[in-house]
Amino acid sequence: MKVAVIGAGLAGSECAWVLAEKYGIQVTLFEMKAKKTTPAQISPHLFAELVCSNSLKSKSRLNPAGTLKSEIEQLGSIVIPSAKYAEVPAGETLAVDRELFSQTITDKLKQHKNLKIVDCIIERASDVFKHTDFAAVVIATGPLTDDSLANDLRNMTGTEELYFYDAIAPILDGDTIDNSIAFLANRQTRTHAFEKKQAQEKALTDGLPPIADEEEEGHYLNIPLNKEEYYSFVEKVCAGAKVPHKEFEEPKYFNGCQPIEVLAERGPRTLAFGPMKPRGLDDPRTGRMPYAVVQLRKEKMGDSAWNMVGFQTRLTWGAQKEILRTLPGLANVEFFRMGSMHRNTYLVSPNILNEDFTLKADKRFYLAGQIMGVEGYLESSAMGVYIAHVIGQKLKNNRRLSCPPANTSLGCLARYCIYGETKRFSPMNIHWGLYNDLSKEDINKYSTNPENILKLKKLDKSVKRELMACRSEDLFSAWLKETELNCLS
Ligand SMILES: Cc1cc2nc3c(=O)[nH]c(=O)nc-3n(C[C@H](O)[C@H](O)[C@H](O)COP(=O)(O)OP(=O)(O)OC[C@H]3O[C@@H](n4cnc5c(N)ncnc54)[C@H](O)[C@@H]3O)c2cc1C
């Protein structure tokens, strides 16, 4: 019994790993990089390459990205342990040294006895059957699926919508940033404050001495702007030269990944409420909150490379250099990578998938990762893990794996891909909005404070998040037991 996985990105690597490692299935992993790289993936040798930011989002269990990490780790993910191994400090965020991260995954996949790697460009999905009569084929070719395969998928599924646009953020040389202006600090979020308060209260209940409020070392480098500097920057961004769209391509941006110029053109204050939001980032030199802030996140251990958080852009490279160097502290900055635009391919899964995640057009095929309608490194990895279990259970145990419960992170994503609203369907990242609100029964079950039950509609946001996290963990554990996935060696 053999399975083919096309694409050794995040989803494909996860899927191949779980099938080979957890189910002992022989997997052939087809990857084109040795022959041709996409415009964003630059290494011909590394699998699971991170193409833009080096962040796999929050580690906090009070954030759905945190619970998603924990869920897929319990399901045998290769991405999460490799990310922990390659972690660089970034506060509450799981950020990684991207080369070490991808190399770790690549080595493990290449050395696995049940895995065979084939370097080739798959032009038509059915071409894989020229190699072997696979029992299942997973298409995990991601947002930059090679053109001929994208066309084949369009024909196979009869789909019109097959792309939208994203842009990537520049990476700066740390040695060229003026540190007398930029300051190190992590944003003080309400979740952060809530977790600290909880730890203090627990210490008190346990009769322990109060936890000292240590000065936390900042991991982000922040560039403060005053009002005048901010408005002058917005003006330049609006006026700067942009990379034109090709005639036949209508730009359709994903909401969470809007280029700075698109935000700036919406209104002069939009950036200050978005990627340049200053809240929680007081400048230690003045003791005051700046008017706006550009945040930089470490790309690697040490201070050599910094990613401009949320600064994806389709400004031309010339315009980027000119405009970004007008920011305070960046007058002499050098760029390791310029921002750029890219096509983003995905299918409207609820229209083309059966409830068992097979393709309606041909039940031998599955989708995994961004192409199936999730967005982000973590979410793509998660769907790779999940689809591997769907296939593993079908092939090894001849049973249909139930969907994880609606109020778990994996359940939200899996259900979005099958039951999502099709009219405005676009790749989805994990967020609390995908969860159902708490019911009276939920509060009764997960809250130790009887007053919360009376406050059903007026629960404090942080209490709500805590209860939603408890509910999610509880439901996920029950699902693991019921499906016996917890017993897989
Ligand atoms: C430029 C860009 C920037 C992004 N920035 C971020 C970000 O900062 N943070 C974030 O969370 N998400 C980001 N994303 C979103 C996205 O979720 C990630 O790209 C994620 O890597 C998707 O995972 P995947 O496994 O679905 O696809 P990928 O990781 O892209 O993997 C697909 C693999 O398939 C291979 N392939 C493609 N076509 C073929 C073919 N015909 N034959 C054989 N192999 C093929 C590719 O070479 C690649 O290795 C970005 C996407 C893009 C394109």
The 10s digit of each residue's pLDDT in 138-190 is 999 999 999 899 999 999 998 876 777 667 788 898 889 999 999 999 887 55
The DSSP symbol for 310 reads T
The answer to whether 29 and 121 are in contact (CB under 8 A) is: no
State in Å: Cα 14 to ligand 1 middle: 13
State in Å: Cα 417 to ligand 1 middle: 18
- Architecture of the structural domain at 2-162+346-436: 3-Layer(bba) Sandwich (3.50)
Per-residue confidence band for 422, with pLDDT thresholds at 50, 70 and 90: confident
What lies within 8 Å, CB to CB, of 76 at 6+ separation is 17, 18, 21, 22, 385, 488
Measuring from atom 11 of ligand 1, which residue has the nearest CA? 376
The answer to whether 420 and 427 are in contact (CB under 8 A) is: no
Binding residues for FAD: 7-12
Which contiguous run of DSSP H or E holds residue 266?
helix 260-266
Q: Could you tell me if the CB of 295 is within 6 A of ligand 1?
A: no
Please determine, for residue 444, whether its predicted confidence score (pLDDT) is greater than 70.
yes
What's the Rg (C-alpha) of the chain? 23
State in Å: Cα 7 to ligand 1 middle: 9
Q: Could you tell me if the CB of 166 is within 6 A of ligand 1?
A: yes
pLDDT in tens, 375-402: 899 999 999 999 999 999 999 999 999 9
* Average pLDDT over all residues of the chain: 89
Per-residue confidence band for 353, with pLDDT thresholds at 50, 70 and 90: very high
Bridge partners (DSSP) listed for residue 118: 30
State in Å: Cα 11 to ligand 1 middle: 9
Q: Can you give the length of the chain in residues?
A: 489
| Identity of the residue numbered 435 | Y
Please determine, for residue 250, whether its predicted confidence score (pLDDT) is greater than 60.
no
Q: Could you tell me if the CB of 165 is within 6 A of ligand 1?
A: no
Domain with CATH 2.40.30.260 in the chain: 168-185+220-343
pLDDT in tens, 116-146: 999 999 999 999 999 899 999 999 999 999 9
The answer to whether 203 and 210 are in contact (CB under 8 A) is: yes
Rounded Cα distance between 275 and 310, Å, is 5
Please determine, for residue 248, whether its predicted confidence score (pLDDT) is greater than 80.
no
Query: What is the predicted ipTM?
Result: 0.99
Domain with CATH 3.50.50.60 in the chain: 2-162+346-436
Tokens coding 4:
């083919």
Q: Could you tell me if the CB of 6 is within 6 A of ligand 1?
A: yes
Q: In what order do the strands lie in the sheet with 115-119?
A: 115-119, 26-31, 2-6, 136-139, 362-367, 358-359
What lies within 8 Å, CB to CB, of 352 at 6+ separation is 157, 158, 159, 359, 360, 361
Q: Could you tell me if the CB of 164 is within 6 A of ligand 1?
A: no
Q: Could you tell me if the CB of 345 is within 6 A of ligand 1?
A: no
- As a CATH number, domain 168-185+220-343 is 2.40.30.260
pLDDT in tens, 196-220: 666 666 656 665 555 554 445 688 9
The answer to whether 368 and 374 are in contact (CB under 8 A) is: no
Rounded Cα distance between 167 and 249, Å, is 15
Looking at per-residue pLDDT, the higher value among 185 and 426 belongs to: 185
- Tell me what percent of the residues of the chain surpass a pLDDT of 90: 67
State in Å: Cα 155 to ligand 1 middle: 22
The closest of 275, 304, 62, 55 to 187, measured between CA atoms, is 275
The closest of 27, 71, 26, 22 to 47, measured between CA atoms, is 27
Please determine, for residue 222, whether its predicted confidence score (pLDDT) is greater than 70.
yes
Q: What is the pLDDT of residue 305?
A: 83
Q: Could you tell me if the CB of 314 is within 6 A of ligand 1?
A: no
Q: Could you tell me if the CB of 429 is within 6 A of ligand 1?
A: no
Rounded Cα distance between 342 and 40, Å, is 8
The closest of 26, 18, 11 to 138, measured between CA atoms, is 11
State in Å: Cα 280 to ligand 1 middle: 32
Looking at per-residue pLDDT, the higher value among 424 and 285 belongs to: 285
